[in-house]
Amino acid sequence: AAKTQERNTYRLYSPIMQADARKRLALAAELRQALARGEFRLVFQPSVDMRNGKVVAVEALLRWRHPARGEVSPGEFIPMAEKLGLIRHVDDWVLQAVARQMRQWDEEGMPPIRVAVNISAASYGAPHFAEEVRRWLVAERVAPQRLLLEITEGAILRLGDEMERTMNALHALGVGVAIDDFGTGYSSMAYLKLPAIAFLKIDKSFVDGLPGSSHDAAIVEAMLALSKRLGLCAIAEGIETEAQHEFLLRAGCTEGQGYLYARALEVPEIERMLRPGQRPGSARLRLV
Ligand code: C2E
Ligand code: MG
Ligand code: MG
Ligand code: MG
């Protein structure tokens, strides 16, 4: 313990930490301007039917290209936006951008696939969130059934009554919700009864150990059994190897995402992949 403490004390005053803190402060200031300056864009990671390799959905993932620093990871700027109270603006921008992209794809004759969007707790907790979602869908004439909103377990539990109200409003609207990173938060399971919840995304941390780890195998099998009994659709995240793919498929998982199939792709790349009659970029992918 003394050693840890010593290390912490050292870290607290280290010049590296000070530089880190300075960098974070500067980044926070720049994050406020990033939206207005058009530095955000969306990339899209395919989700495939593991039985036949067809792309059945895409997940929108946010990217920030800082003019001087280059690409900043969402793992860094999303928590920052949450802390600074900017995440509502970010989520709103993402929703609008996704709805607009979906309409554009419709006009270009792309297959009407599902699009998943990551939304933070603060947005789900905001009083008119479902109404804002409805507004963007109506503005771009997108069917609500084609939008899937992702929420992490931790986010669900941090919110109380507003969460249930929002979930029910989304359900009434016809928008489905997926539990993201399932199994990594403080699972209470009670929220699985909410009618809006339609998908469970099995976190990459459980997929990583497949097929070798008997613990991960047992956990994943239990999650698949649970989703089946509840009538939910399971999506496995972070599939990187053939062995993981084979295990999951045999265990009854039919939808997956991961580098084995495709990384998050820029808009022209995803369009090339989705356009009818195109050849798949990866041997694993077959086209709709
Ligand atoms: P997430 O929603 O769980 O997204 C999955 C992350 O894992 C993505 O990272 C994706 O690129 C990465 N990934 C997918 N397949 C693989 C794989 O096979 N191997 C490995 N190593 N990684 C894989 P990304 O894009 O850096 O996003 C990180 C997190 O940031 C997301 O986790 C999500 O929680 C958050 N995020 C991303 N975009 C948004 C957004 O628009 N709004 C909000 N609120 N959060 C976002
Ligand atoms: Mg996600
Ligand atoms: Mg996830
Ligand atoms: Mg995850």
| Atom 37 of ligand 1: nearest residue by CA position | 61
In this structure, is the dihedral angle defined by the CA atoms of residues 180, 115, 253 and 279, taken in order, positive or negative?
Answer: negative
| Atom 7 of ligand 1: nearest residue by CA position | 238
Mutate to test the pocket of ligand 1, among 40, 47, 61, 205 (most ligand atoms within 8 A of CB): 61
Q: Tokens for 197? A: 């919840």
Amino acid at position 144, single letter: P
The predicted structure's pLDDT at residue 157: 78
| Atom 33 of ligand 1: nearest residue by CA position | 118
Task: Answer for the pair 120, 284: CB distance below 8 angstroms, yes or no.
Answer: no
The predicted structure's pLDDT at residue 2: 41
Ligand minimally distant from the alpha carbon of residue 59: 2
- DSSP 3-state of 183: coil
| Atom 46 of ligand 1: nearest residue by CA position | 118
Q: Give me the tens of pLDDT residue by residue for the chain, a chain 288 residues long.
A: 344 444 444 455 566 667 778 877 888 889 989 988 999 999 999 999 999 999 999 999 999 999 998 999 999 999 999 998 999 999 999 999 999 999 999 999 999 999 999 999 999 999 899 999 999 999 999 999 999 999 998 888 777 788 889 999 999 999 999 999 998 887 678 889 999 999 999 999 999 999 999 999 999 999 999 999 999 999 999 999 999 999 999 999 999 999 999 999 999 999 999 987 765 555 566 544
Query: Which residues fall within 8 angstroms of residue 132, CB to CB, at 6 or more apart?
Result: 92, 95
The predicted structure's pLDDT at residue 133: 98
Ligand minimally distant from the alpha carbon of residue 74: 1
| Ligand 2 centroid from CA 118, angstroms | 5
| Ligand 2 centroid from CA 174, angstroms | 20
Query: Residue 92: CB within 6 Å of ligand 1?
Result: no
* Cα–Cα distance list, 242 to 118, 218, 257 (Å): 27, 19, 13
| Predicted structure pTM score | 0.91
The predicted structure's pLDDT at residue 122: 92
The predicted structure's pLDDT at residue 194: 92
Task: Answer for the pair 266, 247: CB distance below 8 angstroms, yes or no.
Answer: no
Neighbouring CB atoms inside 10 A of 83's CB total 11
Is the bond into 74 cis (omega within 30 degrees of 0)?
no
d(CA 99, CA 81): 22
Ion ligand 3 neighbours (CB, 5 A) are 180-181, 237
| Ligand 3 centroid from CA 151, angstroms | 9
Query: Residue 94: CB within 6 Å of ligand 1?
Result: yes
Q: Measured between alpha carbons, how far apart are the two ends of the chain, in Å? A: 57
ipTM tops 0.90: yes
CA angle 82, 159, 192 (to 5 degrees): 115
- DSSP 3-state of 118: strand
Residue 70's DSSP bridge partners are 66
The predicted structure's pLDDT at residue 9: 47
- Chain centroid to CA 96: how far? 16
Task: Answer for the pair 251, 220: CB distance below 8 angstroms, yes or no.
Answer: yes
